[in-house]
Structure formats: structure tokens, C-alpha cells
Amino acid sequence: MSTAVHSAPADPPRVEPVRIGPVGLPRWSLGWDMLAWSARYLLQPDGPDAGRPWRFTPEQARFLVWFYAIDERGKFTNRYAVYRRLKGAGKDPLASAVSSLEFVGPCRFGGWRADGTPIVVPHPAPWVQIAAVSRDQTRNTMTLFGPMLSRKAIEEFGIDLGKEIIHSRRGGRIEAVTSSPRALEGGRATLVIKNENHHWIGSNSGHEMSEVIARNAAKSRDGASRALAITNAHEPGEDSDAERDYDAWLSIQAGRSIADGLLYDSIEAPPDTDLADPASLRAGLIAARGDSIWLDVDRLVAEIQDPRTPPSMSRRFYLNQVVSAPDGWLTAPEWDACADPGRVVEDGETVVMFFDGSKSNDASGLVGCCVSDGHTFVIDAWEKPAGPAGEGWEVNRDAVNLAVRKAFGRWDVVAFYCDVREFEQHVDLWRDEYGDRLLIQATTGQRAHATAWDMRTRVREFTAAAERTLVDLADRALSHDGDPRLRRHALNARRRPNRYGVGLGKESRNSDRKVDLIVCAVGARQARRDLIASGALLKRRSNRTGRVWSF
């Protein structure tokens, strides 16, 4: 009788995670002294190492050092931080450790040492709030303080452990707060932990809570009151507080917002992680968990492969990926897998372009597509700025015209499709100025026009172009420049069935989540296909060389 021997699955090839966050280390930080203090006074609150001295993982320590980075004046460089990780990666223990440091540990600038390093002192009146939209969420963090604060800390700082409020001898406190924006108004907390703010939405007063927390922090006497959000990956389109954080970070990265002081830290699985391929899935999970090595990969694989677990949930909670809403036009992994930011569009390269314009509400964009390989890239975009700067904003038409002129001066533009609505005059001017350089006309027939491509009358063509773009993305037959503005617009797009197939559009008519750049990208790729089908490029090459080139 033979006995089968089952061996553990071999470790998959290592893959690099997608990392969001600052590079390197800050010049000055209070975090180094805080790390040393936590090792003396804090304990591991749970797990097999419960009761042993607390140790931040390298990723957590790096985050702490950046969160407590200061400038030459001793002021914090980051006023708000987001720590996004997969489920079970230790977000609550990290939040409890940071809260403990704010409560009774060194956490504020106290001058400079002779060697140029900062002196770190306790806050004179610490007030830490653990905020959430439900009592159960605050409990996840509050229950960790008892086992985390060592007996030495309790005795030395006179800590009184309560279930919802924790006091210290010198008057500091930690308290749990839930969905009561009015009760929060006017508070002067020194640190607010926004727990699981992917659950903070309009219907549970989550947005009101977040706004009150921001107002309270802004009026702090020393300007050092801050908030830290701990979250899983949000669901796009739900308009959660976590999604607004992510959109704000994207706006800053794209240069659409002049705001600063937002620290966003995330590690997620590579976009091409295949849930159906065990090796790819294991590699993606190992990448996403980072140094949270206590997470059992086999157990996570089992949860993901359970037919009751939707793929979108698996990607959000276990791979830490931001995936599209159920009616999303495409997913983030599909889009990100086709990014090729290293592809340089050389001066003089033959390209086609698509322009979609708006006066004030929607965005305006100019996107190019290389004829040689279909690489799609953002030439320029104009979006209403966020916040007060957007009041009364209108697109600068001179800037748009200048961008078009520069594009024609830099590249060999052989087709230029323009949606005409709200830019009719400019579209005609571009026809007159550049029409003789274009190899195909945007509109043919009785109403032929070199540049006008009116989307109101081209629903059939645009729907087919949108469907073809999705096929190209799935087949990796499309590359793009990875522009964060284009990515945001692509992920904002929703499936819009019509009598010709499935097109794309905004989530609602008045939505602030724009899609204009992905419309331009789809249109530019359609212009390239039309150019190739026309044979005009082959004729030009034949006329120039006397030979017929294959394409």
C-alpha cells in the first residue's frame, strides 16, 4: 500500500508590487526618536509575539518617519496621510502605535541638537481621536491599547484605560468618536485616526465627518494637528472619503492641484496578477502583503478561489487594487498592464490627434496616437481646478490653440479629428490652417471637413471604436503613456449600452468625474484605423520614394 506525499507549493517567481509613496528618506524627521521610544514602552498586542516589545515593520517605520518629517523650521511637511494596505496587514496596530506616541510619547519638535538633528518632546496637551462611521470600527483600534501600552508606560504616565476614553495623568486623552459631525465641530484634537474611511460615504455622514476633521485641524494653534487615514482599496464610483483622498493625490501628481502636504502610501499587487492562475495569484499576494509576513498566503488563496468571493472584492481587499465599479468600462489592472511610459514620441514622428473641447464644466483634451504602433499619449489637457480656484473657471482657448500649433510644429500630424461642440470656430480655423497637411478628412461626403468629427452624429462609429479599444487592451495590443490624468478618466468611464453596442460615458450627466481624455484616446485610435484603411499613407510613401511600402 502506497502513501501519497503532498508537498507544499513551491514559492512563485518574485514580482515587484506597485508602490505609491515618497522615495528615499526625508532630511529631518521626528520619527527616529519615536521609533526608539516605542520599543521601550509599547508591546505587541496580539498574535504569537503578543507581550513582546513592539517593533514597527520596515515599511511601517518608513511610513512613520515620513509622516513625522519636518522642514528647517520644525514644521511638519505632511498635514494629512493615507496608509492603504490589504486586509490583515496591520493597519489598526499601526494606528494604535501612532496614537500611543501622540498620547504620551515624544511627537513634537523641541529645537535642534548640536549635531543638527531635531529634539523631540511630548505634546503638552495631547488629544487623540479614533474616528469612524460605526462603533464597531472604532473598537478595532481601541481594544488594542490595553495590551499595547506596557505596564511601564501605564505606571510612568498615569494611564487610565477606559473602553471609549483613555486618560493620562498630565491631562491627555484618547477617545472614540463616530458619525456625529456636529459633536465634532470645534474640537482641537492633535491627531485624528480616520478608521476604514473607504466606508465613509454621504449617506452615513462620512463626508461631513471628514470635512469637520479638516476644519478642526486647520485652526489648530500650532498648525500641527493632523489626520491619518487607514484604509483598504476603495471602490471607484462609490464616492467614499478614501476615493476622494485617492483622487486628490492623483490631481496633485498630475499637476491639476497646487495642494501639498498629502502623504499617500500604498503597496498593491501588479496589475497583471491573474486570479485564475495559482502561481500568478500567489506571486501577486506576496507582493501586495509586503513585509506583513504574518499573513498566510495559502489562506488568502483559498478565500480568493472561493466561488462566493467576487473577483472585484478579491482584488480590493486581498490584492489592494483599486478596481472599477460593477458598470465600469474597464478595470485598473487592464489599463495599467498596457502602460509604457518609457516609449518616447520622437520629434517628427507621424501621428494622428483627437480633440474634445468644453467651455467650463467638462474637461478639454488633446490626445495623440503614433501611426507606427498605435501608442497613445496625452498632448495636453485642461480641467477645472479643484476647490475655490475652480469657481468661474473657463478653458483658456488661446492655450488650446497654442497646444495644437505646437503639436503640428513638433510632429508629422496626418489626421486630426475634433469634436465640434463648443469649439466650432476653432475647428474651422484649424481646418483652414492645417487642412492641407492632413492625409484624410475627418468628415467625408457632402459635408466634408478636414477636422470636424461631430460626436453627436457619430455614435455608431464611436461605439465600435470603444469596443475595439477594450479588445486591444485585453490583448495587450495597445500601449499608452501612463499619464495619471488619462488613467483617471479611463477608470471614471462607465459602460453605456446603445443600439449599436456598448459605448462609454460619465457615471451621470452632472458628474465631476470626467472621461474626456479617454474619449480622445478612443477617437485618436479610430483616426489611426481610418488612416490605415484609406491607404493614404502608402500613397504618400510611394510618391516620395517611387516604391510601394508594406504596412
The DSSP line for 315-356 is: HHHTS------TTBSS-HHHHHTTB-TT----TT-EEEEEEE
Beta bridge partners of 369: 352, 376
Place of cell 481621536: 129
**Burial class of residue 272, CB neighbours in 10 A (0-12, 13-18, 19+):** middle
Residue 101, all three cell numbers: 506616541
**3-class DSSP assignment, residue 21:** coil
Q: Are 54 and 38 in contact (CB under 8 A)?
A: yes
Residue 138, all three cell numbers: 472604532
- Distances 518 to 281, 289, 408, 463 between C-alpha atoms, Å: 29, 32, 21, 13
**Burial class of residue 121, CB neighbours in 10 A (0-12, 13-18, 19+):** middle
Query: Position 46: which residue type?
Result: D
DSSP track, 155-203? HHHT-B--SSEEE-TTS-EEEEE-S-HHHHTT---SEEEEETGGG--GG
Q: Are 264 and 245 in contact (CB under 8 A)?
A: yes
**Burial class of residue 350, CB neighbours in 10 A (0-12, 13-18, 19+):** middle
Place of cell 485652526: 219
Reading the chain (551 residues) residue by residue, the pLDDT tens digits are 444 444 455 667 789 999 999 999 999 999 999 999 999 999 999 988 999 999 999 999 999 999 999 999 999 999 999 999 999 999 999 999 999 999 999 999 999 999 999 999 999 999 999 999 988 888 888 999 999 999 999 999 999 998 789 999 989 999 998 867 776 776 789 999 999 999 998 888 898 999 999 988 888 777 789 999 999 999 876 779 998 999 889 878 877 677 889 999 999 999 889 999 999 999 999 999 999 999 999 999 999 999 888 888 899 999 999 877 678 898 877 888 899 989 999 999 999 999 998 887 778 999 999 999 999 999 999 988 766 677 888 899 999 999 999 999 999 999 999 998 889 999 999 999 999 999 999 999 888 999 999 999 999 999 999 999 999 999 999 999 999 889 889 988 999 999 999 999 988 777 778 899 999 999 999 999 999 999 998 888 766 655 444 43
**3-class DSSP assignment, residue 504:** strand
**Burial class of residue 133, CB neighbours in 10 A (0-12, 13-18, 19+):** buried
Given CA atoms 38, 39, 44, 50 in this order, what sign does their dihedral have? negative
Domains of the chain, earliest start first = 18-268 (3.40.50.300), 350-545 (3.30.420)
For 36, residues 6+ apart whose C-beta sits below 8 A from its C-beta are none
